[in-house]
């Protein structure tokens, strides 16, 4: 995804137009649906790894993780490959630190 985004912002629009002529305003709902899907899957994983919490807790934690990734992703895309690697490590550190505090340790 990052490699494709680095090729140029027009690439994403071009690819989406090839899929059906969608303009950016039409793509946004698809992206939102995609992010909801990622959030739902993360919530499932969190429920498996840290059982016993209220279901809305997993949803909230997943939403924060997705939002954090979405916030940092443009920086990664615009960075050089070396900078992108550093930024990716930083993102992992942020999310791991958050998850350590947000969810109890895994019983496994």
For 8, the 3-state DSSP assignment is coil
> What burial class does residue 4 get, using C-beta atoms within 10 Å of its C-beta: 0-12 exposed, 13-18 middle, 19+ buried?
exposed
pLDDT of residue 15: 47
Closest to 106 in 3D by CA, of 61, 57, 51: 51
What is the 8-class DSSP label of residue 7? T
Angle among Cα 46, 47, 52 to the nearest 5 degrees reads: 130
What one-character DSSP code corresponds to residue 108? -
DSSP calls for 33-70:
HHHHHHHHHHHHHHHHHSTTS-HHHHHHHHHHHHHHHH
Q: Give the pLDDT confidence score for residue 21 in this predicted structure.
A: 54
> What does the pLDDT read at residue 26?
56
pLDDT at 33: 84
> Could you state, in chain order, the average pLDDT of each consecutive group of 10 residues for the chain (108 residues)?
54 52 60 88 96 96 96 94 97 97 83
């Amino acid at each position: 995804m990052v490699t494709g985004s680095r090729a140029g912002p027009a690439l994403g629009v071009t690819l989406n137009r090839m899929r059906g002529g969608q303009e950016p305003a039409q793509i946004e709902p698809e992206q939102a649906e995609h992010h909801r899907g990622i959030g739902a899957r993360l919530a499932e994983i969190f429920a498996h790894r840290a059982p016993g919490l209220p279901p809305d807790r997993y949803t909230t934690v997943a939403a924060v993780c997705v939002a954090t990734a979405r916030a940092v992703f443009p920086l990664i895309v615009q960075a050089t490959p070396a900078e992108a690697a550093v930024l990716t490590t930083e993102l992992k550190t942020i999310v791991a630190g958050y998850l350590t505090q947000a969810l109890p340790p895994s019983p496994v």
